[in-house]
Amino acid sequence: MKKVVIILLALLAPVLSLAQTSQLNQYKLGSGDLVKINVYGQEDLTLESRLTDIGVINYPYLGEIKLIGMTVGELENYIYAGLKGDYLVEPSVSVSILEYRPFFINGEVEKPGGYAFQPGLTIDKAAALAGGYTERASKTKIFIDREVNGRLVKITADRSQAVLPGDIINIEQSFF
């Protein structure tokens, strides 16, 4: 029985990883993210910026661009379309997130607070970053406050739940 569980977990690990990768591909930029825009062969069009609350950057030739709410792919396409023709024949644009905005963990962990997001983060890993669970931590009463389509939603989570940048994790107290 134990071998079957281990095999199933081994088979599910790539699926869970793909699910988080898919979530990160659809990840919408927000305040606190550090982004880098690079146009191959065009040093003057390379820009690195941490997004503020308003999330607007001033990009050469294109002016102000509001990045908050855009995915990396949408931003690449926007810059490509803006530069193609008038400024460059076939621009090669790449956008990368150098640093994600932090996630926050509250409640029954040793060191509640904000921590740097890392791809592949789960509730258990986030709790480990926060010094581990306290003795009174519930392993089943775990909630995530997450922004979805501009609205804050509360998600009931388990310890293997993927964490995203900007998430607020709440670990409740156990009564036993």
pLDDT for residue 132: 96
Please state, rounded to an integer, the average pLDDT across all residues of the chain.
86
List Cβ neighbours of 100 (8 Å cut-off, separation of 6 or more): 32, 33, 116, 117, 118, 165
Q: Are 52 and 46 in contact (CB under 8 A)?
A: no
Is the pLDDT assigned to residue 13 strictly greater than 60?
A: no
pLDDT for residue 81: 94
Per residue in 63-92, pLDDT tens?
999 999 999 999 999 999 999 987 788 999
Pick the closest to residue 98 from 168, 167, 37 (CA basis).
37
Q: Are 38 and 94 in contact (CB under 8 A)?
A: yes
- For the ranges 3-7, 60-64, 165-169, the lowest mean pLDDT is seen at 3-7
What residues pair up with 130 in beta bridges, in sequence order? none
Catalogue all structural domains in the chain, each as residue range(s) with its CATH number.
34-99 (3.30.1950.10), 103-173 (3.10.560.10)
pTM metric for this prediction: 0.74
pLDDT for residue 7: 44
C-alpha span between 169 and 16 (Å, rounded): 19
pLDDT for residue 18: 37
pLDDT for residue 6: 41
Sorting pLDDT into bands at 50, 70 and 90, what band is 169? very high
pLDDT for residue 116: 92
List Cβ neighbours of 58 (8 Å cut-off, separation of 6 or more): 64, 65
Per residue in 107-134, pLDDT tens?
999 999 999 999 999 999 999 999 999 9
